[in-house]
Amino acid sequence: MIPTTGSYRLANVRLHRSLTPGLAAPFDADGFTLADIAVADGKIACIETPGRSAPADAIDLAGRIVLPCFVDCHTHIDKGHIWPRKPNPDGTFMGALNATGADRTARWSAEDVARRMDFSLRSAYAHGTKALRTHLDSVPPQEEISWPVFETMREKWRGRIELQAACLLGIEGVRDKKWFERLAKRVAAAKGVLGVVTYMVPDLEELLDQVFAQAIKHGLDLDFHADETDDVAAISLKKIAEASLWNGFEGNILVGHCCSLARQPDLEVLDTLDKVAKAGLAVVSLPMCNLYLQDRRNNHTTPRWRGVTLLHEMKARGIKVAVASDNTRDPFYAYGDLDMLEVYRMATRILHFDHPVGDWPRAVAATPAEVMRLEGAGVLAAGGSADFIVFKGRSWTELLSRPESDRIVVREGRAIERQLPDYAELDELMVG
């Protein structure tokens, strides 16, 4: 359907207002309009609303939805696909932490990490993702193994997936000042992002100050995992916002999870959201992973909450909000394939990204692109790269009711071959 070379024009494309900045068009109540997209030399030459008849050689998409390629801002492709050899024994967060730690210590050689990462990236690419940030477990000695693998992988995938990485360690790891300074230097050398997992330790404020000091010293953006728990006393999101304000931090900060916020009393929530907005933090919810891990008390109870954080309340205050894949087929989440359409579909159901849809589609494209400093990604605009996905669906209900396994992914104007890797490729890594 999409020509493999040259210039062409797609007619009757259904575009969403939130992802086509600057397009003046009569958008309907669902935020859609019909338009034509002209593609030339791998770029979008122009987007026009039909007012005149399209040329005879235009490709009529008959109202199919076209979205920009996805941006997945929170993943763990160093952990991905270890499930067959290291399942989570009970589905809990602690079960995940312990199982992953044991697997990392025993099995995460450079080759093991590289092969699983490449598998994950091939899946993400086939589903239509063009940029992805992964966290890298960076507790010694893993940082010396995984960061070089990441640098090689980023080169290998350049032009297909823009790959970013953030280091990942429990906040207590920051207490070893010398080692943490060395890690920050290593992250800076790889042009990475400084990340830690925050939870309520007695010296949290002091440790956060050290994290901010290293980020400022090395010019790094920050990426936190915060409060991935139902414990109402977990307020590290607020502590991060406060630390950002009093340190005068000017880089980007992305905070993931923030599950406990949804369990706290309104006054506490309002105070935290005020500070998060003032500090300019962006928040990413991981709806599939949080639904899986949170409120799992034992195997004989039914979960009673959804695990996600307060994205609607955040967005209403102007806080940048995103959703992302998080873990795939590892002890933190037994499923998943880095398909951001699946993430958006699940987010729509779990987080109510509907009635109205409003500008929620930004949460899988334009907003994470801004947080990751990817100019021109996550939107469709004249002059931008012709990176987009053509779906069968012509409305939200059609788009989000089927897996859209036959979507067409176009990169630099050309339809890519969408080959998902075979699970059997990883079998030899799963034995023993």
Question: Minimum distance between the CB of residue 76 and Zn ion, rounded to whole angstroms?
Answer: 6
Binning the chain into helix, strand and coil, the percentages to the nearest 5 are 40, 20, 40
Question: Minimum distance between the CB of residue 363 and Zn ion, rounded to whole angstroms?
Answer: 16
* Alpha-carbon span 202 to 205, nearest angstrom: 8
User: Which tokens in the block code for residue 133?
Assistant: 């940030």
Cβ proximity to Zn ion, 70 vs 396, nearer residue: 70
Residue 189, number of CB atoms within 10 A of its CB: 11
Do you find a cis peptide bond into 356, omega within 30 degrees of 0? yes
* Alpha-carbon span 281 to 364, nearest angstrom: 17
Burial 326-362 (b: 16+ CB within 10 A, else e): bbbbbbbbbebbbbbbbbbbbbbebbebeeebebbbb
Question: Minimum distance between the CB of residue 393 and Zn ion, rounded to whole angstroms?
Answer: 29
User: Which spans in 169-203 are helix H?
Assistant: 177-189
Contact 181, 212 (CB under 8 A): no
DSSP helix/strand/coil, 19: helix
DSSP helix/strand/coil, 219: coil
Question: Minimum distance between the CB of residue 322 and Zn ion, rounded to whole angstroms?
Answer: 13
Cβ proximity to Zn ion, 20 vs 129, nearer residue: 129
Question: Minimum distance between the CB of residue 50 and Zn ion, rounded to whole angstroms?
Answer: 43
Which residue, judged by CB position, is nearest to Zn ion in the bound state?
Answer: 326
Which range in 194-202, 213-221, 323-331, 381-389 contacts Zn ion by CB under 5 A?
Answer: 323-331
Question: Minimum distance between the CB of residue 225 and Zn ion, rounded to whole angstroms?
Answer: 5
- 228 counts as catalytic: yes
DSSP 57-114: T-EE-TT-BEEEPEEEEEE-TTTTT-TTTS--SSSSHHHHHHHHHHHHHHH--HHHHH
Cβ proximity to Zn ion, 72 vs 326, nearer residue: 326
Residues 167-206 that bind Zn ion (CB under 5 A): none
Which range in 60-68, 169-177, 180-188, 320-328 contacts Zn ion by CB under 5 A?
Answer: 320-328
Burial 50-83 (b: 16+ CB within 10 A, else e): eeeebeeebbebeebbbbbbbbbbbbbbbbbbbb
* Alpha-carbon span 172 to 357, nearest angstrom: 40
Which range in 105-113, 292-300, 315-323, 326-334 contacts Zn ion by CB under 5 A?
Answer: 326-334
Cβ proximity to Zn ion, 37 vs 289, nearer residue: 289
Residue 281, number of CB atoms within 10 A of its CB: 25
Q: Considering only CA atoms, give the Rg of the chain.
A: 22
Which range in 124-132, 146-154, 322-330, 368-376 contacts Zn ion by CB under 5 A?
Answer: 322-330
Residues 260-289 that bind Zn ion (CB under 5 A): none
* Alpha-carbon span 344 to 56, nearest angstrom: 35
Cβ proximity to Zn ion, 254 vs 380, nearer residue: 254
Nearest 5°: phi and psi at 371?
A: -60, -35
Cβ proximity to Zn ion, 8 vs 333, nearer residue: 333
> Which strand (E) or helix (H) includes residue 212?
helix 204-218
Cβ proximity to Zn ion, 17 vs 104, nearer residue: 104
Question: Minimum distance between the CB of residue 198 and Zn ion, rounded to whole angstroms?
Answer: 12
Catalytic-role residue among 162, 172, 205, 228: 228
Q: What's at 51, amino acid-wise?
A: G
Which range in 32-40, 301-309, 324-332, 412-420 contacts Zn ion by CB under 5 A?
Answer: 324-332
Cβ proximity to Zn ion, 76 vs 86, nearer residue: 76
Question: Minimum distance between the CB of residue 123 and Zn ion, rounded to whole angstroms?
Answer: 17
User: Which tokens in the block code for residue 167?
Assistant: 């280091």
Which range in 3-11, 26-34, 196-204, 318-326 contacts Zn ion by CB under 5 A?
Answer: 318-326
Active centre residues (catalytic): 228
What are the residues binding Zn ion (CB under 5 A)? 326
